Structure 1
Amino acid sequence: MTFRGRVEHRDSRSALLAAACIRGGRQPDLLSDAGWWQTPVGQYAVVALVIYSRAAAERVAVPVEDIARWIAARRGLELTA
């Protein structure tokens, strides 16, 4: 995903902040904030997941793949190659 303008940068920042809010126990109002975005909010959520996964892997000194497996296991998902 390439961010080309102010709106896309703002939307990606909002997705990152929403993820941090949820982790902190808050519920961001995504329907009113993201409901009018041109790019589906799910795409920005994936970008946020990748960024936070890389940060977590670096923090605990494990490969990103281990973080991905851990997240998938918590959600009852199975990752394949």
Structure 2
Amino acid sequence: MADYLRDDRNFIMHGSWGTLDPPGEPFAMSLRAKSLPNEVTGETFPEGRMVEIINRIIETKTTVYNFVKKLESLPNEPSESRSEG
């Protein structure tokens, strides 16, 4: 999932934006997207897709937050003492 979120984020942040007429749907074009040399890739980003991307980001952030909290709640293991000699 992280790869899809990263690809969507990069397209959203680095794409050149426009609107398809009709129906007035937002789209982005990108040279950075995974494509063949000398090709420009374009994708549409209707409201439903944007809401889905936002929800996946929130879900992923919550999962990472819960994982970190779980790690922080684990008891620390004592480090091994090494005697010199």
Q: Hey, which of these two has a bigger chunk of helix by percent?
A: 1
Name the structure where strand makes up a greater proportion of residues. 2
Q: Which is bigger in relative contact order (C-alpha 8 A, separation at least 6)?
A: 1
TM over 0.5: no
Structure whose alpha-carbon radius of gyration is higher: 2
